[in-house]
Chain A
Amino acid sequence: MYKYDEFDQSIVDTRVAEFRDQVARRLAGEISEDQFKPLRLMNGLYLQLHAYMLRVAVPYGTLSSRQMRMLAHIARKYDRDYGHFTTRQNIQYNWIKLEDAPDILADLASVEMHAIQTSGNCIRNTTSDQFAGAAADEVTDPRPWAELLRQWSTFHPEFSYLPRKFKIAIVAAEEDRAAIKLHDIGLQLYNNDAGELGFRVFVGGGMGRTPMVAPVIREFLPTGDFLSYLEACLRVYNRYGRRDNIYKARIKILVHELGAAEYARQVEEEWAHVKTLGLDPPPGEFERIAAQFALPAFETGIADTVDRSDPDFAVWLDQNVKAHKQPGYAIVNISLKPVGGIPGDASSAQIDLMADLAETYSFDELRVTHAQNIVLPHVKKADLYTIWQKLVAADLASANLDLISDIIACPGLDYCSLANARSIPVAQKIAKRFEGLDRQRDLGELKLKISGCINACGHHHAGHIGILGVDRKGTENYQLLLGGSGAEDASLGRITGPGFDEDGVVDAIERAIEKYRTLRTDGERFLDTYRRVGMDPFKEAIYG
């Protein structure tokens, strides 16, 4: 994992001191809320429905056990004993006191963490593949480039006041586990026909009120040109992105209005100049960063088989454990989606337990996933049964990864001041309706995603089944969408028709799924069947 150098630590410590002074001045009445609000937002502190909410950055979703324990400590000491892992691989605390915020940031800084750029019209935390460095199918570990992005984008003077927020995701496998085509910039590392490593660059994707799948604007970008090219992408956006209308300010609108080819042409033109400025780091600097993501000291010659005699363990193994690049090792997914639970929430005791498991069994590393789960990336297969038993005892062993109850849900109207409807109770009712694991596994991969408003923090556009909560004359109403995907086969869901109340949307989903069961062919997922037969049969099943 990357370790702060003296510059990183100094930047973060200085920011904590600066914010401590700003909070003191706000409480003393020396600055107004209008003056203070942009300052607190730059440090991830929002005013939400019930209290202040703090969003803490987890760079590219990677954490050490020590950092994870600090997240538990903050939940226990300053909040209400739990945290909420988000679709941007971050963590949020819902009950923060303004007067405590500087101390919290100081505690975070002591473990090389912060909340900088988790709000505002700047480049946000870069997200990545939660299996990075472990995945059997990756061409390289994408995190050194993500770390380079973090350093480049942190306090970037030219990009601190963009037309709108800016999100970048990076993967290094054919399977897209980070929804790159639904980001402002999506980057896919791959080897070209000549065997050279480079990036396929997607620009202009996003969800929200105008969802778009990003087009490719450069098929192959040599790794050595990485930062200068991104600088050019951002410069064109910063210059021409719309600032007159917040709903048209994201880069996806610019790319759409210009056309991908014209946007790409302008980027190339800008890049020709930017390349001369010496922005791309020398190879030695990249190697310094990459060395900190070196593979752990894996044991060799160890057993590559697992005793499956415990049937419950075998189910968990099949559902939640994924292939590792190193023989004898596996990737463990810890589901934060127990039936009746709140997607993404974990108590401080659970967070501590996951930190302990990582320290003992996973080379001190954890990952947060955009699906609001936790990953132990480097686990010896011989330790899987012991880990599973400990997870069972902590109510963390739900064997439902990528099944219908592994629901992405935004905090919704239970916590969020922007929301129009509650998301969590709908997720809970769906999980309860499909509680039986045999039924869920029979349905296979089925990604269900719920947002409580058009901002789409719950990624409803990208759900095989998506739900959007709206406010209909003061009453919660839920639109149903089918056919979305955030994976390499990215697509946007289509609305089925008139919306439903909370119970009605659960019934409608069950009708759609029963229809799928009658239509599917062998091995066909819900999404595959939908794509083959179209909306009409589902619509008929849902509305009669």
Chain B
Amino acid sequence: MKLLTGNNLKTGDVVWWTGSDWSRHIAEAADVDGHGEAIAAAEEAARRVNAPYVIDGEATPTGPRPGHIKDRIRAAGPTVRPDLNIKPADPTAGGWVI
């Protein structure tokens, strides 16, 4: 699957395209198939996202998982500060990244 990600222009937060909006939670990310670049261009022009790009991901029972560790760390947060992660109480978060 293809996922579209970027950063919120004002806050810098990592965000994922859900099909109709942006979410901080990758579990809500949608498969953008071949439309990622067009969506990115429109959303960037509307100043709803900064530096968007399309990545490869895989569908898993718990939701989309980016193919590269860099994007998994972006999705979850720094592996060395679980207290700052998007789901700080989730004990499985570290395993999901690595």
Contacts and interface: CB of A to CB of B under 8 A. Distances in A.
B39 to A, nearest CB: 16
A49 B80 CA distance: 14
A330 B68 CA distance: 49
A424 interface: yes
Contacts of B13: 50-51
Interface stretch (A94-102, A179-187, A276-284): A94-102
B55 to A, nearest CB: 12
Contact of B84 (A80, A413, A476): A80
B41 interface: no
B9 A27 contact: yes
B51 A47 contact: yes
A479 to B, nearest CB: 18
Interface string A416-436: 010100101100100000000
Contacts of B7: 47, 51-52
B79 interface: yes
Contacts of B80: 342, 414, 422, 424-425, 428
- Which among B73, B79, B80 has the highest number of chain A CB atoms within 10 Å? B80
A50 B10 contact: no
Interface string B1-39: 000000101111110000000000000000000000000
Contacts of A476: 69
Interface string B54-85: 00000000000001111001100111110010
B84 A27 contact: no
A425 B11 contact: no
B77 A47 contact: no
B35 to A, nearest CB: 21
A422 B73 CA distance: 10
Contacts of B73: 49, 413-414, 422
Contacts of B47: 27, 29
B79 A422 contact: yes
A413 B12 contact: no
Contacts, number: 68
A422 B81 CA distance: 13
A99 B7 CA distance: 14
Interface string A248-262: 000000000000000
A41 B58 CA distance: 35
Nearest to A411: B78
A301 interface: no
Nearest to B68: A474
B44 A33 contact: yes
B10 A99 contact: yes
A2 interface: no
A422 B78 CA distance: 10
Contacts of A424: 78, 80
Given A29-B47, A47-B50, A49-B70, A414 B78 contact: yes
Contacts of A474: 67-69
A415 B51 CA distance: 16
Contact of B12 (A98, A414, A415): A98
A413 B70 contact: yes
A342 to B, nearest CB: 6
A424 B10 CA distance: 28
A29 B14 CA distance: 20
Contacts of B12: 47, 50-52, 95-98
B57 to A, nearest CB: 13
Nearest to B13: A51
Interface in A8-42: 26-27, 29, 33
A8 B79 CA distance: 41
Contacts of B74: 49-50
A52 B6 CA distance: 12
A27 B78 CA distance: 27
B10 A425 contact: no
B87 to A, nearest CB: 14
Interface in A380-420: 413-415, 417, 419
B51 A425 contact: no
A538 to B, nearest CB: 29
Contacts of A52: 7, 12
Contacts of B77: 50
A50 B68 CA distance: 15
A26 B51 CA distance: 14
Contact of A97 (B11, B68, B81): B11
A107 B93 CA distance: 36
Nearest to A49: B74
B83 to A, nearest CB: 9
Nearest to B46: A29
Contacts of A49: 14, 70, 73-74
A330 B11 CA distance: 44
Given A50-B74, A80-B84, A413 B69 contact: yes
8 contacts: A47-B7, A98-B11, A99-B11, A414-B81, A424-B78, A424-B80, A474-B67, A475-B69
Given A97-B12, A99-B10, 11 more contacts: A27-B9, A27-B10, A47-B12, A50-B78, A52-B12, A80-B84, A95-B84, A97-B11, A98-B11, A413-B69, A414-B79
Going nearest first, the 8 A-B pairs with the smallest beta carbon separation are: A51-B12, A414-B78, A52-B12, A424-B80, A97-B11, A99-B10, A414-B80, A29-B47
